[in-house]
Structure 1
Amino acid sequence: MTRPTRAGRLQAVTAAVTLCAGALAAGAPAAGAAPAARCTTPRLTGGWYGDNRARLQQLIDQYGTCNPYRPARTKPVAVFDWDNTVVKNDVGDATMYWLLRGGKIRRPASGDWSATSRYLTPAAVRALAGACDTLARPGAPLPTGTAAGAACADEVLAVYGTAATRAGAPAFAGADHRTVEPAYAWLAQLTHGWRPAEVRAFAAAARAENLAAPVGATQRVGSTTATAWVRYYDQQRDLIHGLRQAGFDVWITSASPQPVVEVWAEGVGISADHVIGIRNTTTPGGRFTPHLRGCGSVKDGADTMITYIDGKRCWINQEVFGVRGAAAEKVQPAARRQVFAAGDSDTDVSFLRDATALRLVLNRNKNELMCRAYDNSDGKWIVNPMFIEPKKQKSAPYPCATTGYVDHDGTPGPVRRADTSVVPDQTDSVY
């Protein structure tokens, strides 16, 4: 047998190394190494309307990890509203009811109820003072869970729930109707004086009660009967799990207080650093003040830009994509926007419109949102009935061409597409 020359042996070794490197580059395991786990695209379970599950699965298949990612490819972002989108009923409401029953709302430290919201009307300030101020010293918790405090609980609940006093006077005025909802903001502002961990503990207690209560349960708050149950939607929990498993960066945005949504989001595997709720400013000692964090061009304490309609866009741009200053209030280039969004209300319209690939709407008969979803001008909207106690079909068409849109000053007008054309009235067809 002819022995190979030294040069020949060197060429053989070089060829072997080249072949091995090529195999590794192609994904072949090195000798002795365990085979790499095969990437499996998650499959969604049932319970969806029409072809919605197929559309959502297509989104996962197209953008998920198994597609696969290019080196250093940015994760696709998915953003969900919370109340009545991921859960049935409102966790902010559930927390308000618990705070009132437990006597955890403090009288304003200044003694002046206008300190709790710049939007409270003089009529509301007088009504709250008359019903509550004799019950506690300034800064102390009000005994709203007792018989003596029932009238105070009723007044707070009327202002929060109906935006009017018990006597029927408007409770709020002067807000930008597309960046702040004063009643939603007021719940966060009424946690003043407590530390974030304490508010999380209150929310956890309310969560336990509402999940344990049977569907349809009610409770007494003051002299008022209120909803007493909340449920996670199994389909949304499954969707969030599937998106995360497929490599999506999943966020929650909500117009409920930040600590409250943090507690509830744990139930679908979303950590606090991926929750964007209404955020209070804090004192040097770490207690919540009645003022709120700002976004975009809005400074902390101005209380004019919460996670509400255009405010949700700002907060998502700022917290998820790192856009700073006034630019955060604007629509961003497609590469700096979420590929998927889910919501149920007009408060979600702006961040849903920003989603580049697919937008899921749960039908709660909200005018502007349903006008845009049914118009579906770019083919990226899908509508699903509520998974628990779905709404009946809306008998009249949505007034898209006349009053479906509410402007910054509260003036109603037509819903317009991006090209300014008017959306025609839409018939409710998914219910």
Structure 2
Amino acid sequence: MGNRHVLALTLATAATSLAAVAASLPAAAATAAPAAKRAHCPQLSKKLPWYGENRARLQKVIDERGTCSNPRLAHGGSKAAKHRPVAAFDWDNTVSKNDVTDATIAWSLRHDKILRPASWKKSSKWMTDEADRALTTACGTDVPVGAPLPTSTDTACADEIFNIRESGKTMSGAAAFAGEWNHRRTVPQYAWVPQLFAGHTVKELESYARKARKEALAAPVGSIQTVGTHVIPGYVRYYEQQRDLIRTLKKAGFDVYIVSAGSEPVTEVWSGGKSGVGIDRKHTIAIRSVLDKKGRITTWNQGCGGVGVNKGEAIPYIDGKRCWINQEIYGIKGKSAWEKQDWRHRIALGGGDADTDVTFVGDATGAHLVLNRNKNEVMCRAYDNADGRWVVNPMFIEPLPQKADPYPCATAAYNKPAGGFGPVLRDDGSVVPDQKDTIHG
């Protein structure tokens, strides 16, 4: 008892002395410690509007996981790099407004950059005879194999190609793809995009993406363009809020990745450099084409999760995005890459806008950021907010109005692996009830 009283007296005396010293210091010295702490806490811009408390909620994750809580992350080195928190974002309609893959395809069709394949049927593992006939009829056989198709003037050919990419159907409405595939690991019309550019080098495809980018960024917001007879958005914009978020995350010591279901060379053109969002090739993951001996794109893709070189069976799509994150970021190989990992091997923050993003965004341990584009499965998860970490924001440019009907979460929002839809389930097996659309433009 006596020792405790002596200790208490000593501490009280020390506290009084420290207070006196602090009072005698200049104002600048007295505030040095808080200022030093703030230097380790990069802040999101308050000039860029977010919905509700979303900025504060994202800032909380940045502060808790980044340099604010662990200043060692600011100094680099192998130890710090090994333990960096990770953030991952989808690209199209998440970091950019509108689809950069569509912009590149549209530019390529308007400038005769699609080469005639030896066989349309062999351009995709799942292409139907109806689609093969429709493409052959529309695009003809006069152009030599490997030569550019005149899609800038041949409206029928441009229409068939773009319609199959857009909807998976021919202009007559016939299914363009058939057979079996895991609907949570791929979708044939997405896998077909890099296959469309077979015969080109990566540098050629990058040059088309750069030209499409320049055109799309120059076009006014709200503008449209015509491809064949299809009318599609004519502009693309970087979301300044997402640029700022990515910049702040990087300053706070996060490793930031893009994980897209687009063609990797196209995504890299948009993600890299100061004019993009400063994410390099190493940190950009998308569909990776296998190249031939001359460096030309083939209809084959690199694989994930124990799936080797393939024709599109394992692209970064729904569960495929989890697989590619686990494999490329965390080094998890084989079938385990398809599985949800422990807390230490999951991203801290994930951002997306569609069902193709729902798995990896849901894996995030800090925040699940979703831009509302009225996509059923991801919005069911977001509005159910089972772990309290889902952050829903309207699109920053031309946000959608409120969806009139509730999302059909209890019956038909989950994308089944075999195709079709079913109820969305929580981790405990309970059914997510239908959800109203409450955060919108």
TM over 0.5: yes
Look up the match of 2:319. 310
Deviations 1:141-198 (Å, cap 9, x if unpaired)? Answer: 111112xx22111111111112111111111122321100111111111110111111
Q: How many residues align?
A: 392
Q: 1:69 Cα shift?
A: 4.6
Q: 1:54 is matched with which residue? A: 56
User: After superposition, what is the alpha-carbon deviation per residue over 1:264-298, rounded to whole angstroms, capped at 9, x for unaligned?
Assistant: 00201111110001111110111110111111111
Residues 124 and 299 in structure 2, CA contact (< 8 A), matched pair in contact too: yes
Secondary structure of the 2:232 match is strand
Matched, 1:172 2:177: yes
Q: Give the whole-Å Cα distance in 2 for the aligned partners of 1:157 and 1:125.
A: 14
Tell me, yes or no, if structure 1 residue 221 matches structure 2 residue 227: yes
The question of whether the paired residues in 2 share the 8 Å contact of 1:107 and 1:133 is answered with no
Structure 1 position 103 matched with structure 2 position 112: yes
- Aligned positions of 1:273-422 closer than 5 A: 273-422=282-431
Deviation for aligned residue 1:104: 0.8
1:134 has 2:136 as partner: no
Partner of 1:256, secondary structure, is strand
Q: CA RMSD in A?
A: 1.4
Query: CA 1:300–1:186 in structure 2 vs 1: closer, same or farther (change >3 Å)?
Result: same
Does the aligned pair in 1 maintain the 2:139–2:157 contact within 8 Å? yes
| Per-residue deviation, 1:426 | 0.5
1:26-41 paired onto structure 2 within 5 Å: 39-41=39-41
Q: Distance in 2 between matches of 1:38 and 1:379?
A: 27
Distance 1:357 1:38, change over 3 A: closer
1:268 aligns to what SS in structure 2? Answer: coil
Contact 2:87–2:255 (Cα < 8 Å) also in 1: yes
Q: Which residue of 1 aligns with 2:42?
A: 42
Counterpart secondary structure, 2:136: helix
Distance in 1 separating the partners of 2:267 and 2:243: 15
Compute the TM-score of the two structures, normalised by the length of structure 2: 0.87
1:236 aligns with 2:238: no
Match of 1:115 in 2: 122
For residues 55 and 406 of structure 1, what CA distance do their matches in structure 2 show?
29
Q: Distance in 2 between matches of 1:218 and 1:136?
A: 30
Partner of 1:374, secondary structure, is helix
Deviations 1:378-430 (A, max 9, x none): 11111000000111111111100000112011121100011111000111110
Contact map agreement 1:294 1:302 (CA 8 A) in 2: no
What SS class does the counterpart of residue 186 from structure 2 fall into? coil
Cα drift, residue 138 of structure 1: 1.2
* Partner AA of 1:39 in structure 2: A
SS of the residue corresponding to residue 134 of structure 1 reads coil
Partners of 1:41 and 1:345 lie apart in 2 by: 31
Q: Which runs of 4+ in 1 moved over 6 A?
A: none
Shift of 1:257: 0.3
CA contact (8 A) 1:135 1:142 kept: no
Q: Among 256, 262, 266, which residue is 1:260 paired with?
A: 266
Query: How far off is 1:139 after superposition?
Result: 1.6
Higher mean C-alpha deviation, range 420-429 or range 221-230: 221-230
Identity rate of aligned residues, in percent? 54
1:348-378 Cα shifts (integer Å, max 9, x gaps): 0110111111110100000000000000111
Deviations 1:42-64 (A, max 9, x none): 11123100000000111111111
Q: Distance in 1 between matches of 2:410 and 2:41?
A: 42
Structure 2: how far apart are the matches of 1:358 and 1:152?
44
Counterparts of 1:383 and 1:187, CA distance in 2: 30
Letter in 2 for 1:112: S
Paired residue secondary structure (1:348)? helix
Matched AA of 1:411: G
Residue 39 of structure 2 aligns to a residue whose secondary structure is: coil
Deviations 1:316-350 (A, max 9, x none): 11111111111111111110110100000000011
Structure 1 unaligned spans of 5+? 1-35
- What secondary structure does 1:43 align onto? coil
**How far apart, CA to CA, are the structure 2 residues paired with 1:281 and 1:211?**
30
What SS does structure 1 have at the residue aligned with 2:132? helix
What TM-score, normalized to structure 1? 0.89
Distance 1:360 1:313 in 2: 16
CA–CA separation in structure 1 for the residues paired with 2:295 and 2:88: 29
Q: Which moved more, 1:266-275 or 1:135-144?
A: 135-144
CA-to-aligned-CA distance 1:52-90 (integer Å, 9 cap, x gap): 000011111111113125682410000000000001000
CA distance in 2, matches of 1:382, 1:222: 39
